[in-house]
């Protein structure tokens, strides 16, 4: 009987030894770092920091090449720029960094957490219906509107710039607030806990240079609000009557009232509740039909 000994290459042997030495905590470490880099990449990709990142990479490449070729003057300049560059980046991108830090700790699960622990689905659905109806009417009359739905990021500092109302969000009340001769029509309405909490509020304007020049102050304020918080913003254009939404710095336009209602249900409650509401509406419509049939008889 012959025994054949197989000798593995030295590189493969060291690789197997490295794999054997990996502990569960190493996997957790790799996972955390991967998540960190993912959100860092997402932050750079979705903002003007993407262009800056290319400049930083080019500067690092020049520094490496100058070091390799022993270009001492160029190496001194690039090393000095890199040394003080971090402080400069913090100053230049203070709004973006603040936006990220404000969102730290917020839950990734979309939900209208500020509506209370009981989350009365009928009340929430009624609120969304009233807002969608009001947005449709404002769109037809080309009346400008800016409605902010507060979620996990509290907007107390912005509420102080307006007038606290704390009223049921009826469609007629929303239209009265944004009537072009009303004293609070130029500001934003903030909905908290399913109620109109304040109106006439001043929102931060977006500093994104890539925003279309056709968009006015109302759209820039809506985008700025979505960039600095996790709020959902509904915008009605005064010039065209177009209904738009802004979430996480992204503007989507040309909503119908029905499409807006579905969007708000999905954003404020999540997809499961959207399906539940569809079934709920069918059941309620059947009940209303039976009542009308009994009244006619």
**Mean pLDDT value of segment 277-287:** 48
Distances from the Cα of 206 to the Cαs of 203, 210, 215, 216, in angstroms?
A: 9, 10, 11, 11
With tokens 């890199």, the residue in question is 82
Whether 183 has a pLDDT exceeding 60, the answer reads: yes
Q: What is the mean pLDDT of the chain?
A: 78
Q: Which of 261, 263, 259, 269 is nearest to 250 (CA)?
A: 263
Q: What is the pLDDT of residue 25?
A: 83
H helix intervals, 141-270: 156-159, 171-177, 217-228, 257-268
Which stretch of 2-11, 238-247, 276-285 has the lowest confidence by average pLDDT?
276-285
Q: 113-283 falls under which CATH superfamily?
A: DNA integrity scanning protein, DisA, N-terminal domain (3.40.1700.10)
**Digit-coded pLDDT (tens) for 284-293:** 545 444 444 4
| Extended strands (E) in 174-218 | 188-192, 195-201
CA 170 to chain centre: 26
Which of 99, 135, 156 lies closest to 263, judged by CA? 135
Binned at pLDDT 50, 70 and 90, residue 38 comes out as: confident
Domain extents in the chain: 26-103, 113-283
- What is the per-residue pLDDT across 90-149, written as a single tens digit (0 to 9) for each? 776 666 666 666 655 554 444 444 444 444 677 778 889 999 999 999 999 999 999 999
């Amino acid at each position: 009987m012959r025994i054949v000994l197989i000798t593995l290459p030295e590189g493969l042997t060291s690789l197997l030894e490295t794999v054997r030495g990996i502990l569960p905590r190493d996997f957790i470490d790799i996972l955390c770092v991967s998540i960190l880099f993912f959100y860092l990449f997402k932050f750079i990709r979705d903002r003007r920091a993407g262009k800056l990142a290319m400049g930083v990479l080019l500067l690092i490449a020049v520094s490496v090449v100058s070091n390799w070729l022993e270009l001492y003057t160029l190496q001194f300049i690039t090393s000095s720029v890199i040394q003080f560059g971090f402080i400069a980046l913090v100053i230049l991108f203070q709004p973006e960094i603040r936006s990220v830090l404000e969102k730290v700790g917020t839950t990734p699960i979309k939900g209208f957490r500020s509506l209370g622990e009981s989350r009365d689905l009928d009340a929430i659905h009624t609120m969304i219906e009233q807002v969608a109806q009001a947005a449709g009417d404002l769109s037809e009359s080309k009346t400008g509107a800016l409605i902010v739905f507060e979620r996990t990021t509290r907007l107390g500092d912005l509420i102080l710039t307006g007038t606290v109302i704390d009223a049921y969000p009826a469609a007629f009340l929303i239209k009265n607030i944004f009537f072009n001769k009303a004293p609070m029509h130029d500001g934003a309405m903030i909905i908290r806990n399913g109620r109109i909490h304040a109106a006439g509020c001043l929102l931060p304007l977006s500093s994104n240079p890539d925003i279309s020049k056709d968009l006015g102050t109302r759209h820039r304020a809506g985008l700025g609000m979505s960039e600095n918080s996790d709020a959902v913003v509904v915008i009605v254009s005064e010039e065209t009557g177009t209904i738009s939404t802004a979430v996480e710095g992204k503007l989507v336009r040309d909503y119908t009232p029905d499409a807006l209602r579905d969007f708000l249900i999905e954003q404020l409650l999540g997809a499961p509740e959207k399906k539940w509401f569809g079934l709920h509406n069918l059941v309620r419509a059947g009940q209303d039909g039976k009542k009308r049939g009994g009244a006619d008889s």
